[in-house]
Amino acid sequence: MPAARAVGLAKLYGRGEAAVRALDGVSVEFERGRFTAVMGPSGSGKSTLMHCLAGLDVPSSGRVFVGDCELRSLDDAGLTRLRRDRVGFVFQSFNLVPTLSASENITLSADLAGVTVDREWWFDELVGLLGVADRLSHRPAELSGGQQQRVACARALIGRPELIFADEPTGNLDSNASASVLSFLRRSVSEYRQSVVMVTRDPQAAACAHRVVFLADGNKAGLRCPSCPDNLLQVFDDNHKALGWLNLERLLGAVLLVTLITVLAGRWLQASRAQRRAVAPVLVAGCASLAALVWTVTFDLLGDPLGSLPANVWFYTTATIPIAVLFVFLQRRLARGQVAGLVVELGEPSASAGLREALSRALGDPSLELAYWFPAERCYVDGDGGMVKLPDAGSGRSSTFVERDGQPIAVLLHDPVLEHNAQLVRSVCAAASLALENERLQAELRARLVELQASRARLVEATDSERRRIERDLHDGTQQRLVSIAMSLGLLESKLPATATEAPPLVRETREALVLALAELRELTHGINPPLLTERGLAAALDELCRRAALPTHLDLELDQRLPDQVESAAYFLASEGLTNAAKHSHGSQVRVLASLQGECLIVEVADDGIGGAATAGGSGLRGLADRVEALGGRFTVSSPPGRGTTVRAEIPCA
């Protein structure tokens, strides 16, 4: 049974030609346990309809029912009892008694009826819910408009009526107070199963209701058909099933929402910076709209304590999504316009130093890499001359080739998201082709220098290998045979007869010459590849070298570990050549040898106090040492001012 209904309701004011028809055959039902809003323009008969339904005014024709009671069957006393016991009122102007406190205004109807109010539960819960518990002793003049209306709401509900009529309850309130009152009315329906009929012109207030009835020209939405539904799409009226479908919709929406958030979060974490930059505006707008939707649904489940505010926020944030899409397209157009700035930037003298950074800014991809075509090896190399492998399909990187006059120049390795903006990539490549050609030539030169460095390193390694082979052949071959001959001569000398006088001196002289030759051969093999250097390392070899030096030599060692063979060999021969040159050419009195490991670099220095004047161009010895050190990526210097001695220094990387 509906909470209230009107059948063919009409209301005329005045007579004759001056008569005003406020209601014209209105037939409408208001469901029990529902919040219904009655809307319409000013003068459409909204308030008149409510007054007739509440028994405050008598219709000219038609029938009005509150529950199962028809109002025209009641006398004045019956109408009074009905309005007091079964109907509650909330008016736009509050209608509070100014001489009574808020507490007395709330209980006024119960006091007049001689009914005791349940203050331990219902009264306290009601004033607490409305937030006026601390204002009960104040009179209406001491309350704000929102507080007065909440006191009026408490007065309407204190008797637990079947039906509450609210006539423009938010008309004199600000937005915050309006939201509070509307939230309470909605909550009274959802939690206390009240039936509320509210007359309003505010669409935001009407949005809080379960159902909206429109009046036009004194009739329900202009319809005179009592059986016509308010919703033209309605199949049947079953609130219980509708609530079940609504809960199912909320459950599926929650599952879909969690899935969507999980997928978006995963893709965002896996995306590159360029991909994030491309979708960030739309994603931010979408997430804001999604958060607003969650907020709206949550407050809907809580009885809309904030009224229509969450829904309005959702509408506005949803409207930002197409704006964000337009912003992304505008961003792409602006990026193409930056190509002109790129041309100007690349035309500057220092452009080659920041070519990659300039292209990266123009394309919006910080991960951009450049590789240049190396015709000699028919491959791509980086700026340092190292070979670059192009990305495979599915590697998460894309490549765009740059050509000039049909010949490859370079390749851009970039994020795959730029494939969706191919026009920008082509424009940038065309603008940077000349700069890329210049950079390619420099990269080719560096690649050739890298190859030259590798070639020199291979020569040094081959020289060391050859030295070791010669030393091994002399030691194991020639030297052993000479030792065998010396032993044979000694044996021959011992077996000569005592009467022989000429042969023994000759044999002895030959054996002494052979021993001298062995010593010179041993010295030669030590110079070619010192065994001590191989067996005990650079420190022991330098110590032995300084002991055998022709000039007094002071050795300063700061080595506590073995170094790579090529490094130790280069350092040893530098010290050996320096000591030899000092003995032959310096005319000095002493030599100082320094070998120190500083970080990842070995410092070797040989200094004498001689006459100076040496230069690397003056002989093949120092030039050969310079080639050996530079082949290892080191630095070789000679300082020899006239009259101030000579210092040979090498810095050899050990890594």
pLDDT per residue as tens digits for the range 354-404? 677 777 777 777 778 888 777 767 788 777 767 888 887 777 788 888 777
- How many Cα atoms within 13 Å fall on the side-chain side of residue 133? 10
220 pLDDT more than 60:
no
Under the banding of pLDDT at 50, 70 and 90, the label for residue 607 is very high
Using the predicted structure, report yes or no on whether residue 210 has a pLDDT greater than 80: yes
Domain span at 151: 31-58+70-228
Q: Give the pLDDT confidence of 29-56 residue by residue, as tens digits.
A: 888 888 899 888 777 788 888 888 888 8
Distances, alpha carbon 270 to alpha carbons 193, 259, 264, 273, 312, in Å? 50, 17, 10, 10, 34
Quick check: helix, strand or coil at residue 198? strand
Q: What percent of the chain has pLDDT over 90?
A: 5
624 lies in a domain? yes
Q: What are phi and psi of 507, to 5 degrees?
A: -65, -40
The residue from 205, 228, 251 where one domain ends is 228
Residue 629 lies in a domain: yes
For residue range 549-571, list pLDDT tens digits in order.
Answer: 888 999 998 888 888 888 888 88
Most confident of 46-60, 264-278, 339-353: 46-60
Which range, of 75-89, 473-487, 600-614, averages the lowest pLDDT? 473-487
Q: What DSSP state is assigned to residue 17?
A: G
d(C-alpha 644, C-alpha 365), whole Å: 58
Angle between helical axes of 433-473 and 565-581 (0-180°, round to 10): 70
Task: Answer yes or no: is 242 within a domain.
Answer: no
Residue 120 belongs to a domain: yes
Residues 652, 635: Cα–Cα separation, whole Å? 7
- The total of structural domains in the chain comes to 2
Q: Is the dihedral of CA 429, 430, 435, 441 positive or negative?
A: positive
**The last residue of a domain, from among 228, 253, 284:** 228
Does residue 485 fall inside a structural domain? no
Q: What CATH number does the domain containing 638 carry?
A: 3.30.565.10
What is the spatial distance between Cα 464 and Cα 474, in angstroms, rounded to a whole number?
Answer: 15
Contact 183, 169 (CB under 8 A): no
Percentage of residues in the chain having pLDDT higher than 70: 73
pLDDT score for 223? 39
Location of structure tokens 């929406």:
253
Give the pLDDT score at 234.
63
- Give residue 232's pLDDT: 58
Sign of CA dihedral 377, 383, 389, 394: negative
Q: Which of 121, 250, 125 is nearest to 188 (CA)?
A: 125
Please determine, for residue 71, whether its predicted confidence score (pLDDT) is greater than 60.
yes
Confidence (pTM): 0.39
Cα(12)–Cα(24) distance, rounded to whole angstroms?
9
DSSP 640: -
CB 620 within 8 A of CB 576: no
Residues contacting 88, CB < 8 A, separation 6+: 155, 156, 157, 159, 161, 163, 164, 165
Residue 598 DSSP SS3: strand
Which secondary structure element, helix H or strand E, spans residue 65, and what is its range? strand 61-66
Mean pLDDT of 579-591: 87
In a domain, 446, yes or no: no
Residue 430 reports pLDDT greater than 70:
no
The dihedral through the CA atoms of 488, 494, 497, 499 has a sign that is: positive
150 is a domain residue: yes
- Give domain status of residue 243, yes or no: no
> Tell me: the pLDDT tens digits for 127-186?
888 888 888 899 998 988 888 888 888 888 888 888 989 888 887 777 777 888 888 888
Cβ-contact 32, 3 below 8 angstroms = yes
pLDDT in tens, 460-471: 665 666 666 666
DSSP state of 387: B
User: What is the structure's pLDDT at 554?
Assistant: 92
Q: Which range (190-194, 298-302, 538-542, 618-622) has the least confidence?
A: 618-622
Structure tokens at 419: 């494939």
CB 100 within 8 A of CB 139: yes
Is the pLDDT higher at 118 or at 645? 645
Which of 107-111, 132-136, 340-344, 442-446 ranks highest by mean pLDDT?
A: 132-136
Tokens of 643: 């009259």
* Mean pLDDT rounded to a whole number for the chain: 78
Separate counts of helices (H) and strands (E) for the chain: 20, 19
Do residues 610 and 585 touch, judged by C-beta distance below 8 A? yes
Residue 218 has pLDDT above 90, yes or no: no
Domain boundary among 175, 194, 228: 228
Per-residue model confidence (pLDDT) at position 476: 61
**CA nearest 337: which of 435, 431, 433, 437?**
431
Q: What is the pLDDT of residue 456?
A: 63
Residue 121: give its domain's CATH number: 3.40.50.300
Over its C-alpha atoms, the chain yields an Rg (Å, rounded) of 52
Q: How many beta carbons lie within 10 A of that of residue 6, not counting itself? A: 24
What pLDDT is recorded for position 358? 73
Half-sphere exposure of 464 (CA within 13 A, CB side): 22
